[in-house]
Amino acid sequence: MSEAISIAVVGSGYVGLVAAVCFAEMGHDVICVDNDERKVAALQGGDTLIHENYLPELLERYRNTKVRFTTDLAEATRECEAIFIAVGTPQSETGDADLSYVEAVACEIARSLTSYKVIVEKSTVPVYTNEWIRRAIERNGVARELFDVVSNPEFLREGTAVVDFLHPDRIVVGADSERAAALLNGIYAPLTTGEYYTRPSHIEGVCNVATPPPLLNTSTKSAEIIKHASNAFLAVKISFINAVSNLCEATDANVEQVARGIGLDSRIGPKFLRPGIGYGGSCFPKDVAAFRSVAEQLGIDFGMLSEVEKINASQKKRFLAKVRSALWTLRGKRLAVLGLAFKGETDDIRESPAIDLVEMLIGEGCTVAAYDPAAIKRTEQELPAGAQLRYATDAFDAANDADALLVLTDWAEFAAIDLDKLYATLRYPIVIDGRNLFDPSVMQEHGFTYLSVGRPS
């Protein structure tokens, strides 16, 4: 068994909370700090507050034992060897990341720092943030030899966050000091030595056999750039296949065949080549804008990223045009919408293309009945039900008597829907699929008029 290390995680959002319970699962002792008292109370009581596979099980296992929740950052700083900052870095009006939460946490840590600590950036931050954190701590009177600041970006995806954290493709540790790098290497030792994978898994259904992930030691600046560049590259891949799907639509080619054909080239790879209504979520839109802004500030022309954003925005407009092409006029049409979350298996609606499309459809005078397995509660807060918008209790309730059904999120349960029942429920059997969840020939056999993305109908 590797050595247990005392770790504080500041921020209990997707990254912070998942990191906290996973570090406990790896054998460490964790204090999870959040300044929101209600959140802390909920977590102490076992409520994860977010929909994330396997998180409830791990929280139940470790809450108030190997993971304690508190609002007291000073105490956590005194007690722990490493302090991970996992607070939000929202997008500011100019497109830059707003780092005020990170700065506030750094200053608060500085005020209680009396013995050597390693402060770890886990939030997605622009290059040079490490230096700014160091300066902020020094400005608060802390001697340089009392701390190091390390960059350890997180690559987990929402929906598969726990599995991604414990079975990562790679771990990146950006440290400019050997002492700090050694501590971080120790924290991840259960994964990198493979020892964790020999233990019985606490997460039912997750195979614990894994190749130990490589840990890449880099400079702090390289690690910061790796995170932004990774997300930007994935966004490029999605916008690329979206643009190709438009070309396929114009030529009656099939984007699925094209994606398979290019993805089999190991230099390209098969993943992230699913076309759709554009990427969303709390990461890609914000990180592409922030990376573009970093480049601009450094005087570097990274115009490719603006093009990526342009293609992403145009995917929604193209989808709307597709709905219009199927229904002729939109005013007064009754539409069923399946999916509100920015992708399947999550209740997160931040920057969700599905929500944008619902708003656009309402703006066009449609009446929408929307269903999502997990995201209705969150959506209702932003987009209350009204004369033109109703939240349905299930997919068939949404489809009831609708002029067409639109698929906007790739939930697995939508792909498994009973097509005969759906056919009987809709007023007109028209399905416009923004996520390519169905096989066009199967839809045709069931009698649907079926439009999808980049595939002949």
Tally of CB atoms within 10 A around 155: 15
The yes or no reply on residue 455 touching ligand UGA (CB under 6 A) is no
CA–CA separation, 94 and 12 (whole Å): 26
Alpha helices (H) in 120-212, listed in sequence order: 129-139, 161-166, 178-187, 189-192
The yes or no reply on residue 440 touching ligand UGA (CB under 6 A) is no
The yes or no reply on residue 155 touching ligand UGA (CB under 6 A) is yes
Active site residue 283: yes
**DSSP state at residue 329:** -
Region of 345 on the Ramachandran plot (φ > 0 left; ψ -120 to 50 alpha; else beta): left
- Site size for ligand UGA, by CB under 6 A? 20
* Binder among 76, 234, 405, 417 for ligand UGA (CB under 6 A): 234
* Shortest separation between residue 376's beta carbon and ligand UGA, angstroms: 18
Tokens at 320, concatenated: 């709307």
The yes or no reply on residue 281 touching ligand UGA (CB under 6 A) is yes
Residue 261 vs 447, nearer CB to ligand UGA: 261
* Binder among 279, 291, 391, 450 for ligand UGA (CB under 6 A): 279
Residue 5 vs 349, nearer CB to ligand UGA: 349
The yes or no reply on residue 156 touching ligand UGA (CB under 6 A) is yes
* Shortest separation between residue 259's beta carbon and ligand UGA, angstroms: 9
- Buried-exposed string 223-234: b where 16+ CB fall within 10 A, e elsewhere: bbbbbbebbbeb
The yes or no reply on residue 414 touching ligand UGA (CB under 6 A) is no
Residue 30 vs 238, nearer CB to ligand UGA: 238
**DSSP state at residue 375:** -
The yes or no reply on residue 16 touching ligand UGA (CB under 6 A) is no
The yes or no reply on residue 302 touching ligand UGA (CB under 6 A) is no
Q: Which of 22, 80, 248, 283 is catalytic?
A: 283
**In terms of C-beta distances under 8 Å and separation of at least 24 residues, what long-range contacts does 221-225 make, across chains too?**
221/127, 221/128, 221/130, 221/174, 222/174, 223/151, 223/152, 223/153, 223/172, 223/173, 223/174, 224/121, 224/125, 224/126, 224/127, 224/128, 224/129, 224/130, 224/151, 224/153, 224/174, 225/127
* Binder among 276, 373, 434, 440 for ligand UGA (CB under 6 A): 276
Determine phi and psi for 327, rounding to 5 degrees: -115, 0
The yes or no reply on residue 350 touching ligand UGA (CB under 6 A) is no
The yes or no reply on residue 272 touching ligand UGA (CB under 6 A) is yes
* Binder among 51, 66, 122, 274 for ligand UGA (CB under 6 A): 274
CA–CA separation, 269 and 350 (whole Å): 28
The yes or no reply on residue 239 touching ligand UGA (CB under 6 A) is no
Residue 352 vs 425, nearer CB to ligand UGA: 352
Tokens at 414, concatenated: 């939508």
- Buried-exposed string 4-20: b where 16+ CB fall within 10 A, e elsewhere: bbebbbbbbbbbbbbbb
* Binder among 319, 342, 371, 438 for ligand UGA (CB under 6 A): 342
**Read out DSSP for 385-441?**
-BTTEEE-SSHHHHHTT-SEEEE-S--HHHHT--HHHHHHHSSS-EEEESS--S-HH
The yes or no reply on residue 339 touching ligand UGA (CB under 6 A) is no
The yes or no reply on residue 238 touching ligand UGA (CB under 6 A) is yes
The yes or no reply on residue 48 touching ligand UGA (CB under 6 A) is no
Residue 284 vs 391, nearer CB to ligand UGA: 284
* Shortest separation between residue 289's beta carbon and ligand UGA, angstroms: 13
Residue with tokens 């997990």: 374
Residue 290 vs 323, nearer CB to ligand UGA: 290
Residue 77 vs 129, nearer CB to ligand UGA: 129
CA–CA separation, 41 and 47 (whole Å): 9
Q: Which of 243, 319, 250, 441 is nearest to 450 (CA)?
A: 441
Of the candidate spans 72-80, 203-211, 216-224, 277-285, the one that interacts with ligand UGA by CB under 6 A turns out to be: 277-285
CA–CA separation, 12 and 17 (whole Å): 4
Contacting ligand UGA within 101-140 (CB under 6 A): 124
Of the candidate spans 154-162, 192-200, 213-221, 361-369, the one that interacts with ligand UGA by CB under 6 A turns out to be: 154-162
Of the candidate spans 42-50, 66-74, 142-150, 272-280, the one that interacts with ligand UGA by CB under 6 A turns out to be: 272-280
* Shortest separation between residue 143's beta carbon and ligand UGA, angstroms: 34
Of the candidate spans 136-144, 210-218, 281-289, 445-453, the one that interacts with ligand UGA by CB under 6 A turns out to be: 281-289
**Read out DSSP for 94-107?**
TSSB--HHHHHHHH
The SS3 assignment for 199 reads coil
Q: Which residues pair with 147 in a beta bridge?
A: 117
List of residues contacting ligand UGA (CB under 6 A): 124, 154-158, 231, 234, 238, 272-274, 276, 279-281, 283-284, 342-343
Would you name the residues annotated as active-site residues? 283
